[in-house]
Structure 1
Amino acid sequence: MTELAVFDMAGTTIEEHGAVYAALRHSVEHHGVPVDAEDLQTWMGTDKREAMHALIRLGGGSPTPELVEESYEVFSARLRALYAETPPTPLPGVAAALATLRSGGVRVALTTGFSDDVAEPLLASLGWSSEPGGNLDAVVTSDAVPRGRPAPYMIHRAMERTGVLDVRKVLVAGDTAVDLLAGTNAGAGEVIGVLTGGVPREVLGKEPHTRILASVAEVPEVVLAGVA
């Protein structure tokens, strides 16, 4: 029986219209460093400072701590502007899926490569919260762990915050390769790729997983049918 479902945010539970991709590319190219599309896809879903460090290096730049921090500030400002222009929304069927899981006794956590200063306003804009009476049981940002995905630490921190002891009873779902790698590294009993983030099935299919679904909206059927 699945006790905890851990979902990524942007592209998995939240439709943010590609703003993270655009802001991340902008934050690196702002300094005159080119960003290859394949490299950008590879580093999506990771801690954003780690992604900037890698993308600057891959583009031929020198990722000094100062440059990475400046890039993060550019990223945050650009992302806020894009979200103001086109506000994020829950992906179709996701809010109902989260409610169905919780009503069925499954705890729900969100994890993200965003830091608190980006994640908290985003969730607040949707009315989502892990506070008492909220629609979530835990939210784990990159600030809470020493390493982001593909490290398993955010998933394990979500287990800690929700009181789940057996990682085999944890389901992890996300829309990027590093989401699947993090779930696998954590030892999760179910590792699901979802296609709502724009990463093709054939790309996700190359990573370790237990199944690929069209959307998180399909997860309750998997879990509550006793399959997971």
Structure 2
Amino acid sequence: MIELAVLDMAGTTIDEAGAVYRALRAAVERTGLAVADEDLQTWMGTDKREAIDALVRLGGGTPTPELVEESYAAFAAYLREAYAATPPQPLPGVEQALAELRARGIKVALTTGFSEDVAGPLLAAIGWSTGEGGNLDAVVTSDEVGRGRPAPYLIHRAMEKTGVLDVRSVLAAGDTAVDLQAGTNAGAGVVVGVLTGKVDESYLATHPHTYILASAAEIPALAETAAR
């Protein structure tokens, strides 16, 4: 049985109207470089500073530490403006799914390629939190680990925070290729792709996975899934 569900944030559990894609593109293109759609798709879901570094290189630029930090600041500012104009919302059925998982004794953790300064206000805006009275058992941001996705560390940190010992009892889910890669690299017993992000099924299906679902709202149906 699954003991811990580790879910991505933007595009998997939270609808933020594609603002992350637009913000990441804008943060890099402000330097005068072009961002190819396929490169943006590849780097979505990763730590955003790492993504900016990679996209600058792919665009033919030189990602100095100063440039990356300036671009990250522009990314965060764009997101704040976008979220103020169009407030993020939980994806349909996801809050109910999280509640059902926890009611069945399954811990729920969110992981993200955002640092805490971006993730914290986003979660606060929709009323999600950890601790007494909260609807989550843990949140892990990119600045808590040595490297973001596709490295396994976000998932392993979620296990550490929730006291789960056996990675085979972990379900990892997300809407991007690197979410699936991170779940696989972590050794998660169940790796789930969801189709509520900007990546289509044919692309997700080319990466290691156990299931592909229309939405994270369907995850409670996998609660009894045996570890592989």
TM-score (ref. length: structure 2): 0.98
**Counterpart for residue 168 of structure 1:** 168
For residues 174 and 194 of structure 1, the distance between their equivalents in structure 2, rounded to whole angstroms, comes to 6
Aligned position for 2:43 = 43
Matched residue, 1:69: 69
- In structure 2, C-alpha distance between the alignment counterparts of 1:32 and 1:84, rounded to whole Å: 26
C-alpha contact (below 8 Å) 2:89/2:126 kept by paired residues: yes
**In the TM superposition, what is the alpha-carbon distance from 1:31 to its structure 2 partner?**
0.9
- CA shift at 1:222, angstroms? 1.7
Displaced runs of 4 or more, over 4 A: none
Which residue does the alignment assign to 1:101? 101
Match of 1:28 in 2: 28
- Name the structure 1 match of 2:155: 155
Alignment-mate amino acid for residue 64 of structure 1: T
- Which residue number in structure 2 is paired with residue 19 of structure 1? 19
Q: Distance in 2 between matches of 1:56 and 1:66?
A: 13
Cα distance in 2 for partners of 1:198, 1:112 equals 16
For structure 1, the residue ranges without an aligned partner over 5 or more in a row are none
What do the CA deviations read for 1:58-105 (whole angstroms, capped 9, x no partner)? 001110000000000000000100001100000000000000000000
Tell me by how many angstroms 1:198 deviates: 2.2
> What root-mean-square deviation, in Å, do the aligned CA atoms of Structure 1 and Structure 2 show?
0.8
Instruction: Give the match for residue 214 of structure 1.
Output: 214
Distance 2:18 2:38 in 1: 15
Amino acid corresponding to residue 6 of structure 2 in structure 1: V
**1:135-179, CA deviations, whole angstroms, 9 ceiling, x for partnerless residues?**
000000001000000000000000000000000000000000000
- Structure 2 counterpart SS, 1:5: strand
Contact 2:140/2:154 (8 A) holds in 1: yes
- Residues 41-190 of structure 1: pairs in structure 2 closer than 5 A: 41-190=41-190
Asked if structure 1 preserves the Cα contact closer than 8 Å seen for 2:111 and 2:140, the reply is yes
Aligned residue type for 1:74 = A
Which amino acid is 1:120 matched to? G
- 2: CA distance, partners of 1:113 / 1:223: 25
TM-score (norm 1): 0.98
The letter for the 2-side match of 1:139 is V
- Paired residue secondary structure (1:182): helix
How far has the Cα of 1:131 moved from its partner?
A: 2.0
Check 1:168–1:227 CA distance in 2 against 1; reply closer, same or farther (3 A cut).
Answer: closer
Q: Any stretches of 5+ residues in structure 2 without a counterpart?
A: none
Q: Does the Cα contact within 8 Å between 2:2 and 2:226 map onto a contact in 1? A: no
